[in-house]
Chain A
Amino acid sequence: MSRDTAEFSRRQMLRGLAGLGLTASAGSSLLLPGYLHAEQTPEEIPQPRYGGRIRVATMSSSTADTMDPAAGSLSTDYVRHYMVYNGLTQYDEALRGQLSLAESMETDDQKTWHVTLRQGIQFHDGKPLQPEDVVYSLMRHHDPATGSRVKPIADQFESVTVTGPRKVRINLTSPNADLPEILADSHFLIVQDGTSDFRNAAGTGPYKIAEFRPGVRTIGKRNENYWKPGKPYLDEIELVGIPDKTARVNALLSGDVQLVNAIDPRSTRRVEQAKGFSVMETPSSLYTSLVIRQDVPPTNSRDLTLAIKYLLDRPTIKRALFRGYATIANDHPVHPSHPFYAADLPQREHDPDRASYHLRKGGLEGLRLPAYASPAATGSVDMATLLQLSAIPAGLNLGVNRVPSDGYWSNHWGKHPLSFGNINPRPTLDMLFSLFFKSDADWNSSRWNNPKFDQLLAAARSEGDQARRKQMYVDMQELVSNECGIGIPVFMSLIDGYDSRLRGLSPIPIGGMMGYSFAEHVWMAA
């Protein structure tokens, strides 16, 4: 896809996001429309063609590949899970949770939700979808032995009970207006009641698993009984992992695969110039952050924290590291395209003078401090080097400690006064703030403690009025940007490359490849 088509999709996404305010403010009883046909992109005006097989390569695959949605941790897992399973809801291009397996989701207080399942849905093995399957799929996250990656989120499901032949009631521990968005996450996809060995698990999704070999490949065959009329289009999808980014682009350009994710911004020109290939940019809220610990000296100094934030040269990072495939950020995790974005908060600029003012004020001139960076946190090594260079004139002596990816998250992320983190897009602001900024969150990596922020976070979660809710999130962004020990220079775009004959792709900003859910949307033009 050329850049202008990507622009088109982005505008479309913004329109969609603007629409979110309208839909959600419609009333306290939330009735969402049926699932969304992806018929709005310009490519999809011609009639989809049936048949054909494609091979898809993602950046990560190892023997730890899994068929268990709760344990999914890498891009190949998410793609596989969206091929095989459905959720109660699914993301649209603005990350709203549209109804999927659920026919309706109703609530009066954002705390007790009544879910009605669609009629006549079958698993791949022929068993009909039952409310018990939903109960099992959601409650299994509570058991630590499941090894669920979203246990902290699932802990808010106080109880999930069967209330009728197609009905389930979800009680939350406290009100949360974002439940439809949470349930669209790949970890909450619906599996069959009692499944413990997932290797041959049956889902309700668009493709049945014909072959699954961890670290080698996954083959999905068209589910002829799929409940969405007319879908999916392809006969077969083969999913492989090619971790080496050059090899991945080569495989695309040689015609061995038709879709790849995570293209290096430096390789985009190569793909665009090749005949018959395109790239798709998904502006996302993925970011690499600088973690400045607020509970240990010397970084617990507010002056030092601010000085470091002023030393981040955002335009240079955007241009030099990401070739423009990024959006400038303002030291808080909300993407400018989000309807709750704090547009009035002044953009923090690269300002070495202010940085040295703060260093002088805090009596920290000439301080030596190592920053831990790793290939595990995308771009962090280069960011650290840039930061080091701009810190010297301001009177701060930063060292760059480059450490391997292996074991980085357990041993370095947030374990030193200065380190880098990398946070994937989350569907809701509540999730993002609760997981990474709330004072008692496990991954509050800068150990920031702010009771006012915590209060606002809890209040916003249960607030039904959209205007008041937005004001709360704006206040939270201001607090994070000015007080928290997290520096966020840019949001990175996700870049996919594809064979131009592949149609139906459009960005869903939770991840590359249509938020990993491309499988049921794409077809191969003749």
Chain B
Amino acid sequence: MNTIVTLLLRRLGISLVTLLLVSAVVFLITNLLPGDPAQEMLGQAATPEVVEALREKLGLNQPAHIRYLNWLGSLLSGSPGVSLANNMPVAELVADRLPRSLMLAGTTTVVAVPFALFVGIVAAMYHGRRADSIISTAVMFVVAVPEFLVATVAVLIFAVELGWLSAVSYAPQDPTLGQFLATYALPVLTLSLVLVGQMARMTRAALIEQLQQPYIEMAVLKGASPARVVLRHALPNAVGPIANAVALSLSYLMGGVVIIEVIFNYPGIASLMVDSVTNRDFPLLQACAMLFCTGYLILVLMADTAAILSNPKLRK
């Protein structure tokens, strides 16, 4: 178990450094974008005099590195700052959206991961036979169709034509089961299709690689049933690559779901970040970037931990 503890500690340190670097890079890039928050807020109405006054008010007339250090200082003291676009605390804005994003990501994970593993394992077990080729073709098809198309077609069929589900996903505070399903069915379906494809392909590839190893031949000769061969012998050895594939797919659920949020008008954290870019709202943008980065690091860490725990050679 010592390996795990050292690994976790070392990873934690690296994560902090990564976050710091990411925040510096995001800040640099934001400053390279044309226009600043004052200009973006005033849009067409930006006259030099008003822009100057607004810059002064928002503290944008300080040099860039001072603004960055100010932000860093306030973050270390526990406050991610105040949004430049609407003067609301960033923490409050994020607190409003984050649970919704996590809810969407969580629901999608619960639906997509078991299904993807099941599909991938079945395909691997029937490797080279008809069931495998049907599954592989279907999976390729699903991966190839862009999500906005899936989402739009799904809305047209289930919301506009049939009227079963709602076209905009905004759940009330305490949804009933029916409301919950009506709200989440379409976005979860769309996201799952994309994720299942990727994860199932990786699962299948990793398992097939194991199934060609000599020890599997040994197990088969010993008389183990096909299910036992796959689940007991091959799968534990494929956990490492599968966990990594799952982690990478799930990290997409944090920040990569902008299109889904736009089409279903789902108020998640990804669209918050897009807003913060268009408004050049630096504190909010930084907060979102930090969140995505943290989420990604946690997922990768979990995948590595799973790989180590499943491998006696690394486990010690």
Other-chain residue from A57, A63, A253, A255 in contact with B275 (beta carbon distance below 8 A): A63
Other-chain residue from B39, B41, B56, B168 in contact with A64 (beta carbon distance below 8 A): B41
Tell me if B159 counts as interface (CB < 8 A to partner A).
Answer: yes
Alpha-carbon gap, A71 to B39, bound state (A): 13
Tell me if B45 counts as interface (CB < 8 A to partner A).
Answer: yes
Which size class do B's interface residues fall under? 35 or more
Find the B residue at minimum CB distance from A241. Answer: B265
A119 to chain B, nearest CB (A): 35
Most buried by B among A150, A197, A250: A250
Alpha-carbon gap, A73 to B44, bound state (A): 9
Residues 40-60 of chain B: 1 if any A CB is under 8 Å from the residue's CB, otherwise 0? 111111111110111011000
Q: Given contacts A214-B88, A413-B44, are A62 and B275 in contact (CB under 8 A)?
A: yes
Residues 164-207 of chain B: 1 if any A CB is under 8 Å from the residue's CB, otherwise 0? 00111010000000000000000000000000000000000000
Q: Do B160 and A63 touch (CB < 8 A)?
A: no
Q: Do A247 and B265 touch (CB < 8 A)?
A: yes
Find the A residue at minimum CB distance from B33. Answer: A407
Q: Do B47 and A152 touch (CB < 8 A)?
A: yes
Q: Do B271 and A215 touch (CB < 8 A)?
A: yes
Q: Given contacts A63-B279, A247-B167, are A409 and B50 in contact (CB under 8 A)?
A: no
Residues 248-282 of chain B: 1 if any A CB is under 8 Å from the residue's CB, otherwise 0? 00000000000000111101000110011111010
Tell me if B284 counts as interface (CB < 8 A to partner A).
Answer: yes
Tell me if B83 counts as interface (CB < 8 A to partner A).
Answer: yes
Other-chain residue from B41, B49, B152, B155 in contact with A144 (beta carbon distance below 8 A): B49
Report B-chain residues with C-beta under 8 Å of the C-beta of A244.
262-263
Q: Do B168 and A66 touch (CB < 8 A)?
A: no
Report A-chain residues with C-beta under 8 Å of the C-beta of B163.
254-255
B39 to chain A, nearest CB (A): 4
B80 to chain A, nearest CB (A): 14
Q: Do A409 and B54 touch (CB < 8 A)?
A: no
List B61-85 residues whose CB lies under 8 Å from chain A. 83, 85
Most buried by B among A145, A246, A410: A410
Q: Do A410 and B35 touch (CB < 8 A)?
A: yes
Tell me if B16 counts as interface (CB < 8 A to partner A).
Answer: no
Alpha-carbon gap, A213 to B86, bound state (A): 10
Q: Given contacts A254-B166, A413-B44, are A148 and B39 in contact (CB under 8 A)?
A: no
Report B-chain residues with C-beta under 8 Å of the C-beta of A442.
47-48
Report B-chain residues with C-beta under 8 Å of the C-beta of A242.
168, 265
Report A-chain residues with C-beta under 8 Å of the C-beta of B160.
250, 253-254
Tell me if B13 counts as interface (CB < 8 A to partner A).
Answer: no
Tell me if A216 counts as interface (CB < 8 A to partner B).
Answer: yes
Alpha-carbon gap, A256 to B266, bound state (A): 13
List B210-262 residues whose CB lies under 8 Å from chain A. 262
Report B-chain residues with C-beta under 8 Å of the C-beta of A197.
87
Q: Given contacts A62-B279, A242-B168, A254-B167, are A409 and B86 in contact (CB under 8 A)?
A: no
B274 to chain A, nearest CB (A): 8
Find the A residue at minimum CB distance from B53. Answer: A144
A507 to chain B, nearest CB (A): 24
Alpha-carbon gap, A411 to B280, bound state (A): 15
Residues 112-149 of chain A: 1 if any B CB is under 8 Å from the residue's CB, otherwise 0? 00000000000000000000000000000000110111
Q: Do A63 and B53 touch (CB < 8 A)?
A: no
A376 to chain B, nearest CB (A): 9
Q: Do A409 and B265 touch (CB < 8 A)?
A: no
Q: Do B54 and A246 touch (CB < 8 A)?
A: no
Tell me if B96 counts as interface (CB < 8 A to partner A).
Answer: yes
Q: Do B278 and A62 touch (CB < 8 A)?
A: yes
Q: Do B56 and A145 touch (CB < 8 A)?
A: yes
A218 to chain B, nearest CB (A): 12
Alpha-carbon gap, A185 to B128, bound state (A): 71
Q: Do A215 and B52 touch (CB < 8 A)?
A: no
Alpha-carbon gap, A149 to B51, bound state (A): 11
Tell me if B110 counts as interface (CB < 8 A to partner A).
Answer: no
Q: Do B265 and A240 touch (CB < 8 A)?
A: yes
Alpha-carbon gap, A241 to B275, bound state (A): 13
Tell me if A323 counts as interface (CB < 8 A to partner B).
Answer: no
Report A-chain residues with C-beta under 8 Å of the C-beta of B156.
250
Tell me if A243 counts as interface (CB < 8 A to partner B).
Answer: yes
Q: Do B35 and A63 touch (CB < 8 A)?
A: no
Alpha-carbon gap, A152 to B44, bound state (A): 13
Find the A residue at minimum CB distance from B57. Answer: A145
Report A-chain residues with C-beta under 8 Å of the C-beta of B166.
254, 256
Report B-chain residues with C-beta under 8 Å of the C-beta of A411.
34-35
Report B-chain residues with C-beta under 8 Å of the C-beta of A250.
152, 155-156, 159-160, 167
Tell me if B145 counts as interface (CB < 8 A to partner A).
Answer: no
Tell me if B93 counts as interface (CB < 8 A to partner A).
Answer: yes
Q: Do A213 and B96 touch (CB < 8 A)?
A: yes
Most buried by A among B159, B265, B278: B265
Report B-chain residues with C-beta under 8 Å of the C-beta of A413.
44
B8 to chain A, nearest CB (A): 35
Q: Do A256 and B50 touch (CB < 8 A)?
A: no
B286 to chain A, nearest CB (A): 14
Q: Do A71 and B41 touch (CB < 8 A)?
A: yes
Report A-chain residues with C-beta under 8 Å of the C-beta of B56.
145
Alpha-carbon gap, A71 to B159, bound state (A): 36
B299 to chain A, nearest CB (A): 26
Other-chain residue from B40, B97, B262 in contact with A247 (beta carbon distance below 8 A): B262
Residues 185-226 of chain A: 1 if any B CB is under 8 Å from the residue's CB, otherwise 0? 000000000000101000000000000011111000000000
Report A-chain residues with C-beta under 8 Å of the C-beta of B46.
409-410
Other-chain residue from B47, B159, B281 in contact with A63 (beta carbon distance below 8 A): B281
Report B-chain residues with C-beta under 8 Å of the C-beta of A63.
83, 85-86, 88, 93, 272, 275-276, 279, 281, 284
Known: A152-B47, A214-B86, A247-B155. 7 other contacts (CB 8 A): A63-B272, A144-B52, A151-B50, A247-B168, A254-B159, A254-B163, A406-B277
Query: Can you report 18 residue pairs joining A to B where beta carbons are below 8 Å apart?
Result: A57-B168, A64-B85, A64-B279, A66-B86, A147-B41, A147-B42, A150-B45, A151-B47, A216-B96, A240-B265, A250-B156, A254-B159, A257-B168, A406-B35, A407-B34, A410-B46, A413-B44, A442-B48
The 10 closest A-B pairs by CB, nearest first: A144-B53, A254-B159, A407-B35, A254-B167, A64-B85, A407-B34, A62-B275, A149-B45, A442-B47, A216-B267
